[in-house]
Amino acid sequence: MKAMHVLASTLTALLCAAITALGWTALQGVSEVFWTYHVIPNSPLLIVFRIQPLAGLFLCLLGVSGVLSAIYGIGYHNEYRTRRYGILLDLGILLFIVAMAAVLLAADVFTFMLGWEAMSVISFLLVIYDHRKPGNLQSGLVYAIMTQIGSAFLLVAFLVLYAYTRSLNFATFAAVAHTLPPDVQSVIFLCALIGFSTKAGIMPLHVWLPRAHPIAPSHVSSLMSGVMIKTALFGFLTVVILWFGGGATWWGLTVACLGGVSAITAAALAARATGIKQILAYSSIDNMGLIFLCTGVAMIEFSMRDTPLAMLALLAALWQTWNHGLFKTALFHGAGAILYATHTDSLNRLGGLARSMPKTSIAFSILLLSWSASPPFGGFSGEWMMFTALSTAAEHHLHGPMGILDVIALLALFFTAALTAWAALRVYGIGFLGQPRTVAARDAREVPRTMRIALWMGATLTLVSGLAGAFLIARLAKALTGIAGRVAPVPSALANGPLSPVTVPTAFVLIFAATVTAWTLIRLAQGKTSTRTVPTWTCGGERTPSMQYSGNGLSQPLERAWPLLATPLATQWLYRPAYAWVLRTATRFRKIQSGNVRSYLVYLFATIVLLLIVARVGGGVR
């Protein structure tokens, strides 16, 4: 059993390494390569794959995240060793990765939707792997319902495209889409926006994300937060930029606004949630929000024919996608390590882990710094790119209405950054530092070596991304040159900023040198000094673990100062009323209904697959 499991993990890791290599090749800017497979020999049901530069980044991310998760899974699996069919989890992850790769490589609607649905169903099953825990099944169902609603909108978008182009081929779409009537384009855009932003966790369609990500096994959460939600971004970029070339200005405005609101709101919710995995899930929404914000700005610039600026914003979005994917994958691994060691991820019940699991905690602290955009880590590099893009745009439009929008976008970026620092500090300061608050936290031990290796690999990679950011951004910029048929030189604004290959490494070396010098000087001046340890001062009284700030305590100032910011508004104002309405309506129709929700979901999947087949066959016959 154990051997099977290691074998499966190794296979997954190897597959992911191959995917990384494929992605890296794609980033070299190779010309598109197609593979075609017949589902049934000599039938018109084809599966078509192709490789293109935009997918390269996402494939690299999928590959790296997959390798980390596979290694991590070897040790993490112990957590589930009492379960029967434990191998199913490995198999599920393998299939999940394959499905995501299929989405990234799809060259026509059928392949794409097949991959997309497979990705959704497998991830749903993985989310409810722990279905015996109370509430998990319900959260999983929210995910399933939301994701099917999203898929339905995507299908509509594709069917409209089909209606006008009489093709299901992506290449045809790319060639013809921007010639469609503007109203039709807008309908497609809106459907794609709803469909993809549901998956990407953009507000107000994010509700499934903070429910589903925390309950999945941690390496599944990693893949979902690190990669899966990015596949939605890939799809969205494919539609709006590769096919429509950015679309009308209001498209970009809409996307930027949704992104900005998502970023701030989710960051505030992350700063106040109590479970570490939930915090990370909210933080994924806020990062996707920032990425969509930059995407929106890029779309606006495309629509205003300012290609260099648009490319800069797009580059920023993609670079943050990479960095977020990386550190979020590893952070979820870290959260899994805490769960593994203490069986809880509630901040109010943790504490003192830095002393009981130092190796894990140092790796986690590096990831935390990356998350909170501290130099010189990957998160910092990503945020610097976004800052550069947005401030360049603001400077460019300083005297126009767009300038105000860019300033607001900058504000959103800064607020999100400050809130993210708050969330990150809470996770580490409450979870890892101080005294253990419970017996579970006190008895925590280091996690298995493979889990630590994965964590340290993630930490190292995020440091490398930060230090070598300039090279990687340059590579990305080169790969994107010529996107949507436009030539985009790298804007000069980058030369001194994040694209300067020396700045960040110099800063790193200087600060390191200053720190070491200070240490050495003091050591030399002082000689050997004594250090005493005493209990933390409690004004002369006895000390108990309850005398430390709790997770809720540290976020309470936020809740008190801005109660609105810290309320899940979408749930309160949108979903609860909608749910109540559905319930009321449903009771009226109860007589003609029977069965449970799951059977309806099966109907829904079946309908979508059927529709796809009909469309495909119809297209082929013609």
Partner 1 sequence: MTLMTCGPQAISTLCQSYASQGFRLQTMMATDERRIHGHYVLRYAFVHDATGHSVVLETAVPHDSPHYTAVTPALPAANWYEREALDLLGLFPDGHPEPFPLMLHGDLAANANPYPLRKEVDRAVSLPSVSRSLSVEAVPDGEFEVPVGPIHAGVIEPGHFRFHVRGEDVQSLDVTLFYTHRGLEKGAEGLTFAEGLAVAEQTCGVCSASHGAAFAQAVEAICDAHIPERAMWIRLLVLELERLYNHIGDVGNICAGIGFSFGVMQAGILKEKLQRHNARLTGHRFLRNMMAIGGVARDVPSDLAAHTGHVVQETMSAFSGLVNVLLSNEIVCDRFRQTGILALDVVRQYGVVGPAARASGYLADARLTQPSGAYSDKEVQTLLHVPTFPDGDVMARVLQRIEESSVSATLIGLAVAKLRSLPKADGDSSLVTPMVTPAPYEWALGVTESPRGENVHFVMTGPNGTIDRLRIRSASYANWPAVAKAVPGNIIADFPLINKSFELCYACCDR
Partner 2 sequence: MISVWQVLLLMVMAPFVQGYVQWLKARIQGRIGPSPLKPWRDLRKQLAKEVVLSNAASWVSRLVPYLSLGLVLGAAACLPVLSGLPGPLLGSGSIFLFLSLLAFSRLSLLLLGLDSGSAFAGMGAGRDLLFSLLVEPTIFISLLAVGLPADATAFPGILRAAAANTSQNPAVASLALVAIAGVILVETGRLPVDNPDTHLELTMVHESFLLESSGRYLALLSFSAQLRQLLWYTVLFAACFPWGINESSTGAGFAIAILSFLIKVLFASSAVAVIEGVFAKWRVFAVPRYLTFMLALAVAAMLADAIL
Q: Which residues bind partner 1 (CB under 8 A)?
A: 274, 346, 348-349, 538-542, 544, 546-557, 559-560
> Alpha-carbon distance 494 to 315, whole Å?
11
Q: Pick from partner 2, partner 1, none: which does 596 bind, CB < 5 to 8 A by kind?
A: none
Phi, psi angles (nearest 5°) of residue 70 = -65, -45
Structure tokens at 149: 């609603």
Q: Pick from partner 1, partner 2, none: which does 250 bind, CB < 5 to 8 A by kind?
A: none
Q: Pick from partner 2, partner 1, none: which does 388 bind, CB < 5 to 8 A by kind?
A: partner 2
Minimum CB–partner distance for residue 561 and partner 1 (Å) = 10
In the range 342-371, which residues lie near partner 2 by CB under 8 A?
351-352, 354-355, 358, 361-362, 365, 369
Select 456 or 549, whichever has its Cβ closest to partner 1.
Answer: 549
> What are the DSSP calls for 31-79, one per residue?
PPEEEEEESSTTSS-EEEEEE-HHHHHHHHHHHHHHHHHHHHHHHHGGG
Minimum CB–partner distance for residue 553 and partner 1 (Å) = 5
Q: Pick from partner 1, partner 2, none: which does 486 bind, CB < 5 to 8 A by kind?
A: none
Q: Pick from partner 2, partner 1, none: which does 570 bind, CB < 5 to 8 A by kind?
A: none
- For residue 238, give the DSSP letter: I
Q: Pick from partner 2, partner 1, none: which does 542 bind, CB < 5 to 8 A by kind?
A: partner 1
Structure tokens at 390: 């947005």
In the range 458-517, which residues lie near partner 2 by CB under 8 A?
493, 496-497, 500, 502-504, 506-507, 510-512, 514-516
Quick check: 555 and 565 in contact, CB under 8 A? no
> Alpha-carbon distance 369 to 100, whole Å?
29
**For the purposes of burial, counting CB atoms within 10 Å of the CB of 497, is it exposed (0-12), middle (13-18) or buried (19 or more)?**
middle
Structure tokens at 540: 């002369």
Dmax of the chain from CA atoms? 87
Query: Taking Cα atoms as reference points, which of 235, 202, 195 lies closest to residue 104?
Result: 235
Select 132 or 399, whichever has its Cβ closest to partner 2.
Answer: 399
End-to-end CA distance of the chain: 51
Select 514 or 614, whichever has its Cβ closest to partner 2.
Answer: 514
Each residue 419-438 as x (binds partner 2 by CB under 8 A) or -, in order, gives: x-xx-xx--xxx-xxxx---
Return the residue of 39, 410, 601, 617 that touches partner 2, per CB under 8 A: 410
Minimum CB–partner distance for residue 437 and partner 1 (Å) = 9
The one-letter amino acid at 510: L
518 interacts with partner 2 by CB under 8 A = yes
Q: Pick from partner 2, partner 1, none: which does 354 bind, CB < 5 to 8 A by kind?
A: partner 2
Return the residue of 414, 456, 575, 605 that touches partner 2, per CB under 8 A: 414
Q: Pick from partner 1, partner 2, none: which does 610 bind, CB < 5 to 8 A by kind?
A: none
Quick check: 262 and 288 in contact, CB under 8 A? yes
**For the purposes of burial, counting CB atoms within 10 Å of the CB of 529, is it exposed (0-12), middle (13-18) or buried (19 or more)?**
exposed
Minimum CB–partner distance for residue 50 and partner 2 (Å) = 38
Minimum CB–partner distance for residue 276 and partner 1 (Å) = 15
> Alpha-carbon distance 599 to 613, whole Å?
21
Residues in CB range of 500: below 8 A, 6 or more apart: 470, 494
List the beta bridge partners of residue 37. Answer: 47
> What are the DSSP calls for 127-163, one per residue?
HGGGTTSTTHHHHHHHHHHHHHHHHHHHHHHHHHHHH
- DSSP H or E stretch at residue 10: helix 2-27
In the range 562-601, which residues lie near partner 2 by CB under 8 A?
562
Select 517 or 538, whichever has its Cβ closest to partner 1.
Answer: 538
> Alpha-carbon distance 555 to 548, whole Å?
14
Helix ranges, 82-208 (H): 87-105, 109-127, 136-165, 170-176, 182-200
418 interacts with partner 2 by CB under 8 A = yes
Q: Pick from partner 2, partner 1, none: which does 12 bind, CB < 5 to 8 A by kind?
A: none
Select 80 or 414, whichever has its Cβ closest to partner 2.
Answer: 414
The one-letter amino acid at 534: V
In the range 370-399, which residues lie near partner 2 by CB under 8 A?
372-375, 380, 383-384, 387-388, 391, 394-395, 398-399
Q: Pick from partner 1, partner 2, none: which does 348 bind, CB < 5 to 8 A by kind?
A: partner 1
Each residue 216-255 as x (binds partner 2 by CB under 8 A) or -, in order, gives: ----------------------------------------
Quick check: 281 and 225 in contact, CB under 8 A? yes
Query: Taking Cα atoms as reference points, which of 106, 145, 100 lies closest to residue 239?
Result: 106
Minimum CB–partner distance for residue 370 and partner 2 (Å) = 11
Minimum CB–partner distance for residue 528 and partner 2 (Å) = 11
Select 553 or 618, whichever has its Cβ closest to partner 1.
Answer: 553
> Alpha-carbon distance 568 to 208, whole Å?
13
Select 489 or 557, whichever has its Cβ closest to partner 2.
Answer: 557
> Alpha-carbon distance 248 to 1, whole Å?
56
